[in-house]
Amino acid sequence: MVSRRGAADGADGGRFAALAVARATSCAGFFAVLPYLGLWLVEDRGFSGGRAGLVVGACILANRAGAVLLVSLIHRLGLKSSVVTGYLGAVVVFTLLGTGLRLPFLGWLALAALVGLCLAMSTTAMKAMVAAFPAEQRLRGFSYLNMAVNAGSAVGPVIGGQLLDWHAGLPLAAAALHLVALAVALALPGGWRPSPTPPPAGPAAGSGRARRLLPQRALVQFSLLACGTWLAYAQVMDVLPAYLGSAVNARDLGLVFTLNAVMVVALQVPVSWVSRRVLDRPRGGFGPLWAAAGAVLAVSVLLFAFGRSAGLGLVLAAMVLFTLSELVWSPLYDAQISERRGALSPLAAYALAGVASGAAESVGAWLGTLLVVHRPGTGSVSSAAPYWGAAALALATGAAMWWTGRAPSGGRPSTHQPPPAVAGAETEAEEEGEGNDHDVDVSARA
C-alpha cells in the first residue's frame, strides 16, 4: 500500500515535471525562431534590414514587457487558463507565420507582437502559479523553471539553425513545439476558473496599493542605466545570426547559442557564489562587480565584430566571454530591482523594469539588424558598427553603475528592508505569491 507521503511526493513530482516540460518546449520553440527571425525575413521574405529589425523588435518588446498589459486579463482568466491560452495563441500565430502568407509589413509586425504577448501571458501565469505553491515547494518549482528555460534555449537554436540550413519552415517547428507545450499544460495543477479575491481590508489598503504602484527614483535610475547593457545584449542574442549569416553557417551558429545555454546551466551557481563573495568584500560591492562584467561584455562584443573574417573559433571564444559576463550581471540585475524597489510591490517592480529592458533590447535588435544586413557597397567596418557601439555602451554602463553605486556603505547593497506595514498588505502579498523565500538565480532569458 502506498503511503500518503509517497503519494504526495508522486503528485508533486508530476506537477513539477509538467511545469518543466511545458516551459522547456515553449522556450525551445521561441529560441528556435528568435535568433534567426531577422535573417529568415531577409532571405526568405525579402525584407529590408530595417523592416526585419522592426519585426524582431516588436516580438521581443511584447514578450519582455507584455506582462504589464496582461496582469488584469490573467487575473480574470485564472492561471492555468492563461497558460493554456498563451500556448494556444502561440501555436496559431507561428502556424500563420509558417504558411507562406503574403502579408504586408504591418501584418508581420502585428503577428510578431501577438506571439510575444501570447508567450508573455503563459510565462507570467506560470511564474504566478509557482509563486502560489506552499512555501516549502516554491524554491523547487522556480528551480525547475530555471532549468527548463536554459534547457529549451540550448535546444532551440540547434533546431532553428538546422532548419534554416535546410531552408525548412522555421515558424512551423516553433508551432509544433508549442503544441507539445499546450498538451502538457493541460496537466498543470489548478482549476480552470480564477480564485475569488477578497476585498481590500479598509481604506488604508487602497492607499497602500496606490503607493505600491509608484516607482521611486532609485529604481527608475537603475532601470534606465541598465538599458545600455540590454542594448549590447541584443547585438549578440538577436542580431548575431544576421551579422554572421554569410560567414558562419546556421547549424554552427546554433551550436554557438547552445554553448551559451549550457554554460549558464553549468556555471550559474558557482559564478553566483563568487559574485556574492565580491559583493561582501570591503573594496567590492555592486558598482565594481557590474563594471567588471561590463568590461568582459565589451571585450566579447568586440570579438564578435571580427567574427566575419576570423571564423567560428573566435566566435566561440567570444561567446564564452559573453556568457561569463551574463552570469554576473543577469542575476545582479534581478537582485538590484528588489533592492531598489522601495514601497513598490515586487510584481509591479519587475513588470516595470521589464518594460525598460524589453524596450532597450527591442531597439537594439531593430537598430542592429538595420545596420548589419548586407547592402551593395556596405563595408565590413560599417556593418560591424553595432558591435563597436555595444562595446562602448557596455563600458559606459559599467562606469555609470560604479559611480551611482558609490555610497557611504562602500557601494555594497544593503539587505532590502520592506516598507512600513500597511493594513491588508500582508494578505495582498500572500495572495500574489510575493514572499522572499523563493529567490533563485535566473538568467536574462527567463
Check if the beta carbon of residue 81 is closer than 8 Å to that of residue 195.
Answer: no
Of the candidates 208, 255, 199, the one whose C-alpha atom is nearest the C-alpha of residue 35 is: 255
Chain region(s) in the chain for CATH 1.20.1250.20: 14-191, 212-414
The one-letter code for the residue type at 125 is: A
Of the candidates 59, 35, 171, 53, the one whose C-alpha atom is nearest the C-alpha of residue 115 is: 59
Q: pLDDT truncated to tens, each residue of the chain (446 aa)?
A: 445 444 444 456 678 889 889 999 999 999 999 888 888 888 888 888 888 999 999 998 898 888 788 877 888 888 899 999 999 999 999 999 888 778 888 999 999 999 999 999 998 888 878 877 776 677 577 767 777 887 898 889 889 888 887 766 788 999 999 999 999 999 887 766 665 554 444 444 444 554 555 677 888 999 999 999 999 999 998 899 889 987 888 788 888 988 988 888 788 778 888 888 888 888 778 999 999 999 999 999 999 999 988 889 999 999 999 999 998 898 888 778 878 878 876 666 777 887 888 899 999 999 998 888 755 444 455 689 999 999 999 999 999 999 886 543 333 444 344 444 433 433 333 343 344 433 434 445 55
pLDDT value at residue 411? 38
Of the candidates 438, 221, 223, 445, the one whose C-alpha atom is nearest the C-alpha of residue 350 is: 223
Q: How many helices (H) and strands (E) does the chain have?
A: 18, 0
pLDDT value at residue 445? 56
Of the candidates 119, 139, 145, 3, the one whose C-alpha atom is nearest the C-alpha of residue 64 is: 119
Check if the beta carbon of residue 182 is closer than 8 Å to that of residue 297.
Answer: no
pLDDT value at residue 368? 92
pLDDT value at residue 233? 95
pLDDT value at residue 375? 52
- Count other Cβ atoms within 10 Å, centred on residue 404: 16
Of the candidates 212, 225, 266, 261, the one whose C-alpha atom is nearest the C-alpha of residue 421 is: 212
What topology is assigned to 212-414 in CATH?
A: Growth Hormone; Chain: A; (1.20.1250)
Which CATH number applies to 14-191? 1.20.1250.20
